[in-house]
Structure formats: C-alpha cells, structure tokens
Amino acid sequence: MKFFRIAVALSLFVFAVPVFAQRTTTVKMASPVPENSPWGRFFNQIAADWKKITNGEVEMIVYHNGVAGSEKEVVRNLRVNQLQAAVLSTYGLYEISPEVMTLSCPFLIRDDDELDLVLAGLKGELEEKINGKGYFTIAWARVGWVKFFSKQPIFVPADLKKQKLGTNADQAEMNEIFKTMGFQMVPVARNDILIALNSNMVDAVFQSPVAVGSMQVFGLAKNMASINIAPFIGAVVFNQRTWRSIPEKYKQQMIDAVRKNEAELDKAIREMEDDMVKTMKNYGLKVNQLSLQQEQLWYEEIGKSMPNLIGSMFDSGVYGRIETILRNHRNGLR
C-alpha cells in the first residue's frame, strides 16, 4: 500500500511538471505603425528576443497598422486587459497622464538636439507619472517631426490663417491649441485626409513626413514648410497587471533587449524621414525654407497663446522644466 501511494504521488508529479513548465504569458500589443517600417521590424525583433529570453514563457503578438483601433480605444482596452501593451504617441499617453502632452507643445522643442536634452532630463519623471496610473513604460522612441503640408506655401502664420487646416479628429487637444492661435481648424478622420484635400474641405494639414508620404498626401498638398512644429514621440507601455505577471527573473533582460535596440531604431527613423522627404521632392514636393526671422514669427505666435494653455492644456511644472532646459541650452549653459 505504501509503495502504491508513492507511485501515485510520483506519477502526479511527473504529469504536473509539463503543465507548470508550459506556463505562458501572452502579450497582445497594439501598434499604429506599418509592419514594414523600422518600428514594425523593431517590435517583431523584440517579440522574438523576449520569447528566447523567457524560454517561451512570454509570447508577444503585435497588431500592426493600427488594426487595434484609435489610441483612445487602445488605452481603454489596456485598462480592461483586452490588450496588454501598446505603442502610444503623446496623444495616447495624454489619456493616461496629461503631463506628457507638454512634449508636443508646438514650437517649444525645435530640433533633435533639444529633444535629446529634454528626454534625458524628464524621461524618468514622466515614466513615474505614467507608471503611477497603473502602467509600466518600457521604451521611448521618436516617430519624426510634425510639419505643415499645404496647397499654397506657408512661411509665416498669416499664410496659414488664410487656409483651412485639417486636423486628426482624434487629436482634439492639438485642434484646440491651433484654434487658440487663431487658425481655421477642420477635424478630419485620418483615412479621409485625401478626400478632404481633394474636395477643398481643407487646404493644409500637419503631419509627419513619413505619414504624408505613406498616404500620398503630398500629391495634393505639394508644399512643406521647413519649420518643425513638434516632435512626434512614441512610448511602449504595458498595463501593470500583465507586467506583474511576468517572472521577475526575466524582466531586466527584457528591458535590456529593448534598450539595446532603441538607438538603432532612432537612427532608422531619422533616415526614413530624410529618405521620405527626398522621395517626395522627386515627385514634386516643394520644401519652403523659412528664414530665422520667419521662424521667430511662429515662436511669437504661440507665445501669445501660452498664458491660456499653460495650466490647462500643458502642465505648468513640466512646461517650466522643459523651458529651463532649453533656455540653458540656447544660452550655451549646462
């Protein structure tokens, strides 16, 4: 009888081992970018790396091309765990932590060097704010710079005020900012931009060159103003429920795998944006180069609206810290 009980116990143990060994955490990630872009290849590589690092215990399925819905829908699904991770721009991150939207304040951060400094100085603080809302930020990366594309050339604010500016219907915050600056705003769904331009419903849009090139918008809006409106920044976030479910022994290796590829991704994104502009120029796009005096008019234009935007649209504390970093940089201070 004793031998029988031992045999039963051993058999139960043997059959139980595979069950525990095959425990898998499936991570469904939403990404708004095409799979055949540097971002798409980056996430496919991360999925493969994580599977290898965790011996198959973490399996990531990436839903590319925005098939998981708008950023607001994605954030809602993250909260209820229908999605476990997502790539979000500052517009999506605004739904989690409004302070992050300050990074997209028009004409505040003006070039890549300034963006590097701001992220180095504030990334930790912004991650704490996001993570404190029930998420975990695992990576940041750029998606390019937002520019004006228009039917008629835009050099100064007065040029744009004569044209109807189309804005993504899901980006109500940016719509309100430009409205405050006195521009004619027309909300347009992303998939309807070409129709809106073709029907003269809008005369101009603000988008990243990569988005404009992929949607063929430059065929109708043949002018691009050289000035950078705002950096287009993305972050990869998990919901905390899923991040906590991943065995602790794997987490640092998973983070390291992402960070290892971040610099390469940034370089690839910059090259892709440059290549896209060159390609569009070959097909008729005209880049309107603004003078320093013309750029200053844009900075003064947003400056008039800032008293109404700081504390409402943009977090005053974060804005102040960004402004200090940039002022020191522009004045040659450390």
Q: Per-residue confidence of the chain (334 residues) as pLDDT tens digits?
A: 544 454 444 444 444 444 444 578 999 999 988 888 878 888 999 999 999 999 999 999 999 988 998 888 999 999 999 999 999 988 899 999 999 999 999 999 999 999 999 999 999 999 999 999 999 999 887 778 999 999 999 999 999 999 999 987 767 777 888 888 889 999 888 778 999 999 999 999 998 898 888 788 999 999 999 999 999 888 999 999 999 999 999 999 999 998 887 777 777 788 888 899 999 999 999 999 999 999 999 999 999 989 888 988 899 999 999 999 999 999 987 6
Strand partners, 207: 147
Closest CA to 123 of 228, 39, 234: 234
Tokens 């943009």, located at residue: 314
**Separation between Cα atoms, residue 15 and residue 13, nearest integer Å:** 5
Query: For residue 226, what is the domain's CATH number?
Result: 3.40.190.170
The torsion angles phi and psi of 116, rounded to 5 degrees, stand at -55, -45
Residue type present at position 173: E
Range of the domain at 26: 2-330
Do 273 and 213 touch, CB atoms closer than 8 A? no
How far is residue 301 from each of residues 84, 105, 328, measured CA to CA in Å? 41, 13, 22
Residues with Cβ within 8 Å of residue 186, at least 6 apart in sequence? 164, 165, 166, 167, 196, 201, 202
Maximum distance among all Cα pairs of the chain, rounded to whole angstroms: 95
Do 149 and 207 touch, CB atoms closer than 8 A? yes
Number of domains in the chain: 1
Tokens 């993504």, located at residue: 168
